Structure 1
Amino acid sequence: MRIVKFVALIAIFVGGSAVTSAQENYKDKAENLSYQNEDFYEVKKYTESELKFKKEPKNIILLIGDGMGVAQVFTGLTANKGELNLCNFKHIGFSKTQSSDNYVTDSAAGGTALASGVKTTNGTIGLDANGKPAKTILEYAEDNQKATGLVATSSITHATPASFIAHQPSRKMYEEIAADFLNTDIDVFIGGGAAHFKNRKDGKDLTKDLSEKGYQIVYSMEEAEKIQNNGRLAVFTADEHNDDYQLRGNMLVDATNKAISTLSADLHGFFLMVEGSQIDWGGHQNSTSFVAGEMLDFDKVIGEVLKFAIEDKETLVIVTADHETGGMAVTGGDMSTGSVNGGFVTGNHTGIMVPVFAIGPGAEEFMGIYENTEVFDKMMKLWKFKK
């Protein structure tokens, strides 16, 4: 009997480890220190008159480049011959990313700080350092009748997007995080992670519950584009994580545009978080080419968001990171050819400050050096939300 119980425990452990491994295998090193871009794109430079906005934001779009420090930004800048859509941002600050229990944060604590304005322990999703649920900007937006959305190139249940919608003691509780989506009225979410909703240990199929709540559920951006109405939408683009920039095509650009077109139909405005998840993965792998490709993909998304904000005049756009990954340095390059060389001091995160770029109504609030929790505070202030 003891042997049977021991074998059963091993099976549970191995099964759980397999899920975790599938979610975390992007951390395996694959060193590649040089990159030669062959896919340059034009960057629109907006005039001073085009960059005039209304006084208060109706909408907020928060773009998180996971693992994106200054070196990652400059890698992209060099690779696209000295130009990024990000160069249109004139209000720039830096945030300090330390978690409540560690000088070097992880994405769970970093995401929770941005989403909820509280410092928490590494690995914790949407709870404060004492384990109490921390209300997120997405949830405050819902309370104030605004539409809400999440988009990611990772699984939608991964640490950063999860921090905006879930409240769990561990980032590894993917199925519990998926169930938390049903506790909100989020209007649009797009990303990987279908397995955490459908192929669960408890045997439940949460997509049926989503359907009962009025969500249209599809499994590719091609299917999503065919949906013309602006009802609730869940788009699962992969069972686990999405492919990297070389294989997934324009998934993040298309997903962001779909989310904006759906959410902007709401007369009360909207909150949207978009994560360029895999910049972080390039840092973990010490791969300059991975970082560069993901950074350029993320900047193309920034360009699309800028087009909307410039036309709309009521949208605040914030671009930041939850932490830096890799301790990356740009060791050489040539802006005339789009070649760049990088180096790394670690395969993990670092504790250095990360940039915060803002454009639109209230963008001046984001200048200076401050704690990552203040990004949440500033959004709450500009929207005049009360805790």
Structure 2
Amino acid sequence: MKRTFNVLIFLLLACAVFAQGKAKYVFYFIGDGMGVNQVNGTEMYLAEKNGKIGTESLLFTQFPVAGVATTFSSTNSVTDSSAAGTALSTGVKTYNGAIGLDKDKKQLVTVAERAKRSGKRVGVATTVSIDHATPAAFYAHQASRKMYYEIATDLPKAGFDFYAGSGFLSPDKTYDKKEAPSIYPLFEQAGYSLVKGYDAFKAEYPRAKKLILVQKDNSIPDAVPYAIDSKQGDLTLAEITDAAISFLTKEKNKGFFVMLEGGKIDWACHNNDAATAFNEVIDFDNAIKVAYEFYKKHPKETLIVITADHETGGIGLGTGSMDLNLKALQYQKISQEYLSVAINKLRKEKNHKVSWEEVKALLADKMGLWKELPVSWEQEKKLRDEYENSFVKNVQAFEKTEYAISEPLAARAKEVVNEIAHVAWASGNHSAGYVPVFAIGAGAELFNGKMDNIEIPKRIAKAGGYK
């Protein structure tokens, strides 16, 4: 009896050890700025568009394991993206601004680096620049997130197989603004093929040993366009996800780890632009659908984890009444930033002599105001007063947010659409709200319940059996 019991214990322990390392393929999705209400709001928006009160589920919210995570950094109750990205990549808290370093500026080991050391192929991808805070936290080790050139030079040192994003912010100038050797020859010397656009990737990837995918128009390195503004040929996170799978599974199939960031959810929330933010969450979900199709082919070997680095904006669903009107957001056709461009274009075309009727026509076409959405007297006054300041008195106080400088009239129009939809915002910056955690696949049970963000990479490493 005792011998049978010991054998049983041995088998259980063996199974437990096996379970810790059974995730051959790991997808780590990070929705930058995507708090609980960004997800819930998107699902309620989708339901209202279809004429019902409630939610219409995104794919990732239907995954069998769900939890929430706290996000504070070692120095601030409200984290920035670099400290949060470092926590999500290394499992260690650090100061706001740090990339891959602890609070004493000592180099940390990231989960991506652990995967590489364990023989996996590794990818890091985003919809913003590859040297931005969250992707950088997986391959770079720098004292400041603003050290874009120095971060980029860490890319070939990490030696990962696949990188993707919009481009690089400072390819030939150091943090202290000094001229420096271009990063592109450094990439080439390290064996990377640089390809521009998804079509170019499909042609090039069979021959490439290591690859960096950027958008076609590399003169705009900041980010790929918002989903609401995207046109044919623009790079998308779904395409990037497909490219990562294709590249990381070619040749010897060692398994892979890939981090994929929906970086512009955060940007839209810094702008307090609800329609754009919800469309970014939908775009994020579309990329997860690509990963899920891969999971269905390898369900016992694939782990998909979804979370966020922090919440942005303190979005509120409801402004005092018991009603929401999120369906109103469907009539907003472009982001606040693209509306700003359209207003500025109209200003130039008319040599600064723009009538109120012409402004109303533009806002009706691009934002649905008056055309599909009734506008109250107070709301029209807000818009008309801004028109008078900007176009009649030529007093333009441009609206500055974290990633945009907008025509003031564009900001007011977005505010009116938010009011009509009954969406409120606490600020134009990050908050300390919970972020969601979802998981499916091999080791997904590790991500159930409440946790701190530093637990997530530790549990991924455990599921993948990384050194």
TM-score by length of 1: 0.82
- Are 1:61 and 2:27 matched, yes or no? yes
Q: What is the CA-CA distance between 1:103 and the residue it aligns to?
A: 0.4
Paired residue for 2:236, among 251, 271, 285? 251
- Are 1:333 and 2:290 matched, yes or no? no
Q: How does 1:271-282 map to 2 (within 5 A)?
A: 271-282=257-268
Structure with higher strand content: 1
Cα RMSD after superposing both structures:
2.0
Paired residue for 1:161, among 135, 153, 157? 135
Change (3 A) 1:311 1:338: farther
Q: Which residue is equivalent to 1:8?
A: none
Q: Distance in 1 between matches of 2:282 and 2:193?
A: 31
- Are 1:383 and 2:464 matched, yes or no? yes
Instruction: Describe the SS at the equivalent of 1:100.
Output: coil
Report Cα offsets for 1:46-102 as digits up to 9, x if no partner.
xxxxxxxx9521011100000101110012212333131123311001111010000
Q: Which residue is equivalent to 1:310?
A: 296
Residues 80 and 338 in structure 1, CA contact (< 8 A), matched pair in contact too: no
Report Cα offsets for 1:280-300 as digits up to 9, x if no partner.
111111111121111111111
Q: Which residue is equivalent to 1:209?
A: 186
Letter in 2 for 1:322: D
Letter in 2 for 1:366: F
Report Cα offsets for 1:275-329 as digits up to 9, x if no partner.
0001111111111112111111111111111111111221100000000001112
Residues 166 and 181 in structure 1, CA contact (< 8 A), matched pair in contact too: yes
Residues 198 and 207 in structure 1, CA contact (< 8 A), matched pair in contact too: no
Instruction: Describe the SS at the equivalent of 2:93.
Output: coil
Q: Distance in 2 between matches of 1:317 and 1:77?
A: 20
- Are 1:131 and 2:212 matched, yes or no? no
Residues 86 and 299 in structure 1, CA contact (< 8 A), matched pair in contact too: yes
Q: Which residue is equivalent to 2:437?
A: 356
Q: How does 1:1-387 map to 2 (within 5 A)?
A: 56-81=22-47, 82-197=56-171, 201-229=178-206, 231-237=209-215, 238=218, 239-248=221-230, 249=234, 251-265=236-250, 266-313=252-299, 314-331=301-318, 332-333=324-325, 341-386=422-467
Q: Distance in 2 between matches of 1:151 and 1:79?
A: 28
Report Cα offsets for 1:233-281 as digits up to 9, x if no partner.
1112242322222334452111110011111234221110000001111
Q: Distance in 2 between matches of 1:304 and 1:219?
A: 21
Q: What is the CA-CA distance between 1:155 and the residue it aligns to?
A: 0.6
Instruction: Describe the SS at the equivalent of 1:197.
Output: coil
Specify every segment of 5 or more residues in structure 2 that has no aligned partner in the other structure, as ranges: 1-17, 48-55, 319-323, 332-420
Q: What is the CA-CA distance between 1:336 and the residue it aligns to?
A: 12
Q: Distance in 2 between matches of 1:199 and 1:172?
A: 12
Q: Distance in 2 between matches of 1:362 and 1:64?
A: 18
Tell which deviates more after alignment, 340-349 or 173-182.
340-349
Q: Distance in 1 between matches of 2:271 and 2:26?
A: 32
Q: Which residue is equivalent to 2:383?
A: none
Q: What is the CA-CA distance between 1:134 and the residue it aligns to?
A: 0.7
Q: Which residue is equivalent to 1:7?
A: none
Residues 288 and 341 in structure 1, CA contact (< 8 A), matched pair in contact too: no
Length, aligned pairs only: 333
Residues 61 and 438 in structure 2, CA contact (< 8 A), matched pair in contact too: no
Q: Distance in 1 between matches of 2:149 and 2:274?
A: 33
Q: What is the CA-CA distance between 1:195 and the residue it aligns to?
A: 4.5
Q: Distance in 2 between matches of 1:202 and 1:145?
A: 37
Q: What is the CA-CA distance between 1:199 and the residue it aligns to?
A: 6.3
Instruction: Describe the SS at the equivalent of 2:438.
Output: strand
Q: Distance in 2 between matches of 1:228 and 1:131?
A: 37
Residues 78 and 333 in structure 1, CA contact (< 8 A), matched pair in contact too: no
Report Cα offsets for 1:127-149 as digits up to 9, x if no partner.
01111001101111111111011
Structure with higher helix content: 2
Q: Distance in 2 between matches of 1:307 and 1:198?
A: 39
Letter in 2 for 1:376: P
Change (3 A) 1:263 1:195: same
Q: Which residue is equivalent to 2:5?
A: none
Q: What is the CA-CA distance between 1:338 and the residue it aligns to?
A: 6.5
